[in-house]
Structure 1
Amino acid sequence: MSKNALCIGINDYPGTQNDLSGCVNDAHDWSSALTSRGFSTRMLLDADASKSGMVAAIGDIIGNASRNDSVVITYSGHGTWIPDESGEEPDGRDEGLCPWDIEQGEVLLDDELHVLLGKRAPGVRVVIIADSCHSGSVTRGDNSDLDPGMPRARFLPPQVWMSSDRLPSRMPTKILGGIARSGGDLLIAGCLDTQYSWDTRFNGRPNGAFTYYALKALANLPPGSSYASWYRRITPTWLPTSQLPQNPQIFGSTTARGWKVFE
């Protein structure tokens, strides 16, 4: 059995005036946590995380996995959407991840991700951890770690990168679906599909709020704990808060939620 991880972090979004600050740190932090748990880890950062680079790297890690192997893919960067032209989305949108070259129209859609992950061999475990977003609000949790003046949403409106002739005349008002149906066994996401994930700073160091608190919870998790137990340590203990109005989510079967974390 092999354990392999791909950690993607994108701060630099050329041409959009919407750069982020904590995503590369997120990727390094996830890589460190996974490496310490026996994973062979590859990172894609900024320009290396173009759409073609992401598609190739995801294809490689999925294509090289065999029965009983574990694959973890983490993504920190902007999320976005495009108008749904197939009529299959109840909210009128196809959601997607924003590669480094999003300004050139290179979006990685949920449908495309589903196809990539669907190419795995039988018996391969796939866990996806997504620290990107949509929008919303709630108040609970603890803001004490958060630096003043933070945070910033990890959402890139389609108006920023999409030509005006492709935008719908009437903008949908609610986002549903997200990447929850991406094709992995388990998805742990930084927020509801109706919320933003926040890019912020802790003790002077930029991070995604979800990544920071997920790893903080992981550091104190008893050995052999399940993904469900880890999730319950993140929320509502740490998120959401008044300044970080995001509700982390976990999607997957009861069996997958009961797997031991990063094993």
Structure 2
Amino acid sequence: MPKDYKFFENLTYEDFQAMALNQELSSFEKIGFPDAYRDLYEQHIFEDVQLKMPALLQRDSVVFDIGCGCSTLPNLLIQSASKLNQKLILLDSFEMLSQLPESGSPLIRKFPARYPDCPDLLQELKGRVDAAIVYSVIQYVFAEGNIFDFLDRTLELLAPGGRILIGDIPNISMRKRFFSSETGIKSHQEFTNSNDIPNIEFNKIEAKQIDDSIMMSIVQRARSAGFHAFLLPQAKNLPMSNRREDILIVRP
């Protein structure tokens, strides 16, 4: 199994397709994370998502997981949807979805596609989704695609009162602030078992990295389209809460 954290940098959609079928990788590594960042944490992640998405705890909801992956999280969603009679659509590549078990329920559906290149599904779900989950995904959309096209099409799916959680967003500005702080320097030194000071550069172009300006622009675009939108912190018991945050969008 890969131990070099650089293995997980600059991943593409095609990389994830190949990783999904690589039997030498754990389920966490297949979705782009070292085991240390997800093993034993995904139950906490699921609970944090549930707190921000009340429809996940309600019967008969329509739940749409965009880029669901194949780790513990989609399996927790499947279990919860089965108990609550929810309609659950799990969207990812065929390769990734093939790693998930069959639920046996007609309400739980795997949809292989590269979102949002799925016009029939988008038309079917338009105005009907109570909870859309985009977790640890938007950074790849930003690097490879059109983040505002992705957002606009997803906004159209929400039912009245429906929510989108764009979660676990790596914000390079937030990361720099953290690792420039006393707490961040101490964390870095404990992690590296050294006395090194993190090399942090401000006022620098960060190609293909989401920063504060992108976070704010997503919120502003959703609000301008008539939706409520908020920046939210992650729960403190999540592994990267000091450098990642969430965006919650609500259809009034």
TM-score by length of 1: 0.39
Higher percent of residues as helix: 2
Larger radius of gyration: 2
Q: Normalising by structure 2, report the TM-score.
A: 0.40
